[in-house]
Amino acid sequence: MNDVSKLWKDIPPLLKIVGARRQIQDWWVKQRHKIVVLDDDPTGVQTVHDVSVITDWSKQWILKALQEDNHLFYILTNTRSMEPDQAEQINREIICQLVECAQELKISFSVISRSDSTLRGHYPLEIDVIQEEIERKNGMSMDGHLIIPAFFEGKRYTIRNTHYLLEEETLVPVHDTEFAKDTVFGYQTGVLPDWIQEKRGAVTKTPIHVISLEDIRLGGIDRVCKILCSVENHAPIVVNAVAYEDLEVVSLALINAWEQGKNFLYRTAASFVKAFAGLEDRPLLTGEEMINTAGREHGGLIVVGSHTRKTTEQLQHLVQEQKVNIVEIDVTKLLNQENRHQEIARVTEEMNRFIKQGINTVVYTSRDVIIAPEKLRNLDISQTISHSLSTLVNHLSVSPQFIIAKGGITSSDIATDGLCIKKAKVLGQVVSGIPVWFTGSESRFPYTPYVVFPGNVGERGTLSEIVAKIQNIKEGS
């Protein structure tokens, strides 16, 4: 663990480029170039606003997204919840469809593989597959891929190639957190060059490049561009960053390198997307912006699937501080085929009754973590639980005032299977790092605010704060 002030003291001062985001955004628009984010769970929109996210990558929906005025859109893949073979297949399908649609419309695009800021996910599999398919279908050679897990809204920073999580004024290397012990995507080190070697399973002959904070803040755009232009043969590039200004410098350098004929892919957390697209900041959403007027007389639904320590603390705080009814779903019964249907039916009846009465209702999984000896079996367990939660939402008989889903896999399955969303608009964030979707006309409950709450984000009172923000509007109406 590291004292924040000591590490911060040794970092060069920020390099601020006036109007950087406007420069970046104007460049994308002028180029008629799209940024397409393949998001391995629905929380990746936690830094953006007024952009589309599609959950269906058939030609119809990709063409619609590419033809929008916005230069940025997301495709929700949910691959973090899947086995490697399935994740590979989905990434291949999307890139093939994307290349064909872009060629038909005669536009170019860049791909960001957005994943977890605590280093969980299918790396290097997904970035390798995306690279292979783009080179095969588009005839374009990729020079390298940037690794940028910094996520400032969630207090995740990369300093001297080590990725940290800020907890109570202490910078904790991510390998010392619960996330490194993940039953599927665990790892030994948060020192990113070593993490890359660990995940690749062998010493790679390709050099690993580094863009340091000194490169960014002292050398500026020219220095970073020089490093980027030296990269070849699909090499990984570790990017250090502790503020948006760092990523703005990197984004402007990438534009310069792109104009010199360099091509890159990106494996990043959510903050880079905002900087790379040149999106300006916007205020947090108000409670009024998160009310479904069609379901105003009904209660809201809060579904808690994530079992991280942070989520459990947030759930406890919510129950203590807010007027909510709680319904626990027994995970052991969900994992038993004979009991699953009966348990879902019981919870469905209670959930519908409370929401119809205008009561905000929390449906949560029992807190005991069930761990199997095999990694793929743990994915199986996670998928069964998440599918059961989305089935509950699909059985909602009344339009809820709002929906909050806590946990990445949970929120994705609820979006696609429970709410049948094909395309949604990202309104913005209700709290820093916590996005709100506005469901599309094709969904089960059209034009309903859907809060996508990552399992590893927020303080103890954050979930309670969000419910209170909406509840205050309801009581004042």
User: What confidence tens digit (pLDDT) does each residue in 70-129 have?
Assistant: 999 999 999 998 999 999 999 999 999 999 999 999 999 999 999 999 999 999 999 999
Give the DSSP H or E segment for 266. strand 264-268
Of 156, 71, 147, which is closest to residue 109 (Cα–Cα)?
A: 71
Residue 314 CB neighbour total at 10 angstroms: 26
Question: Which SS3 state, helix, strand or coil, does residue 174 take?
Answer: helix
Token pair, residue 203, equals 């010493």
CA 268 and chain centroid, separation: 10
CB within 8 Å of 151: residues ≥ 6 apart: 117, 269, 270, 271, 433
Give whichever of 2-16, 119-133, 195-209 has the largest mean pLDDT: 119-133
Specify the length of the chain in residues: 477
pLDDT score at 203: 66
Give the DSSP H or E segment for 468. helix 462-476
| 57-71, 171-185, 328-342, 356-370: range with lowest mean pLDDT | 356-370
Name the band, by pLDDT with cuts 50, 70 and 90, for residue 5. Answer: low
pLDDT above 90 for 396: yes
Q: Are 199 and 208 in contact (CB under 8 A)?
A: no
Say which amino acid occupies 357: Q
| 185-194, 242-251, 362-371: range with lowest mean pLDDT | 362-371
Of 275, 299, 289, 230, which is closest to residue 475 (Cα–Cα)?
A: 299
Mean of the pLDDT values across residues 263-271?
A: 98
Q: Parse the chain into domains and list their residue ranges.
A: 2-277, 287-476
**Over the chain, what is the mean pLDDT?**
92
Name the band, by pLDDT with cuts 50, 70 and 90, for residue 474. Answer: low
Domain 287-476 falls in which CATH fold? Molybdenum Cofactor Biosythetic Enzyme; Chain A (3.40.980)
pLDDT score at 370: 47
Residue position matching structure tokens 């509840």: 471
Q: How far, CA to CA in Å, does 373 sit from each of 370, 381, 415?
A: 10, 12, 30
Mean of the pLDDT values across residues 452-457?
A: 85
CB within 8 Å of 298: residues ≥ 6 apart: 355, 356, 358, 398, 399, 400, 401
User: What confidence tens digit (pLDDT) does each residue in 19-33 have?
Assistant: 999 999 999 999 989
End-to-end CA distance of the chain: 48
pLDDT score at 367: 65
Mean of the pLDDT values across residues 4-22?
A: 88
pLDDT above 80 for 477: no
pLDDT score at 387: 87
Mean of the pLDDT values across residues 140-164?
A: 97
pLDDT score at 168: 83
Q: Which residue has the higher pLDDT, 6 or 119?
A: 119
Name the band, by pLDDT with cuts 50, 70 and 90, for residue 226. Answer: very high
R_g of the chain computed on alpha carbons:
22
Residue 351 CB neighbour total at 10 angstroms: 26
Q: Whole-model pTM?
A: 0.90
Mean of the pLDDT values across residues 407-411?
A: 83
pLDDT above 50 for 250: yes
Q: What are phi and psi of 197, to 5 degrees?
A: -65, -45
DSSP one-letter code for 191: B
pLDDT above 70 for 284: yes
Which long-range CB contacts under 8 A does 333-341 form with residues at least 24 apart?
334/365, 334/384, 334/385, 334/388, 335/370, 335/381, 335/384, 335/385, 340/388
pLDDT above 50 for 423: yes
pLDDT score at 473: 59
Strand partners, 184: none
Token pair, residue 5, equals 């002030």
Whole-angstrom distance, CA of residue 477 vs CA of residue 473: 6
**pLDDT-above-90 percentage for the chain:** 77
Whole-angstrom distance, CA of residue 201 vs CA of residue 426: 37
Strand partners, 413: none
Q: Which residue has the higher pLDDT, 306 or 117?
A: 117
Q: Are 71 and 110 in contact (CB under 8 A)?
A: no
DSSP one-letter code for 40: S
Say which amino acid occupies 80: R
Mean of the pLDDT values across residues 226-255?
A: 98
Mean of the pLDDT values across residues 178-203?
A: 93
Mean of the pLDDT values across residues 58-78?
A: 97
Q: Are 408 and 455 in contact (CB under 8 A)?
A: yes
pLDDT score at 369: 55
Cis peptide bond N-terminal to 124, omega within 30: yes
CB within 8 Å of 110: residues ≥ 6 apart: 33, 34, 35, 36, 264, 266
Q: Which residue has the higher pLDDT, 375 or 258?
A: 258
pLDDT score at 92: 98
User: What confidence tens digit (pLDDT) does each residue in 378-395 have?
Assistant: 667 777 888 889 999 999
CB within 8 Å of 181: residues ≥ 6 apart: none
Q: Are 311 and 455 in contact (CB under 8 A)?
A: yes
CATH of 2-277, one of 3.30.70.20, 3.40.50.10840, 1.20.150.20, 3.30.390.50: 3.40.50.10840
Q: Are 383 and 407 in contact (CB under 8 A)?
A: no
**pLDDT-above-70 percentage for the chain:** 93
Mean of the pLDDT values across residues 200-217?
A: 90
Question: Which SS3 state, helix, strand or coil, does residue 210 take?
Answer: strand
pLDDT above 70 for 371: no
pLDDT score at 84: 96
Mean of the pLDDT values across residues 52-76?
A: 97
Rounded to 10 degrees, the C-alpha dihedral 118/124/129/132 comes to 130
Whole-angstrom distance, CA of residue 192 vs CA of residue 208: 10
Q: Are 135 and 99 in contact (CB under 8 A)?
A: no
Name the band, by pLDDT with cuts 50, 70 and 90, for residue 292. Answer: low
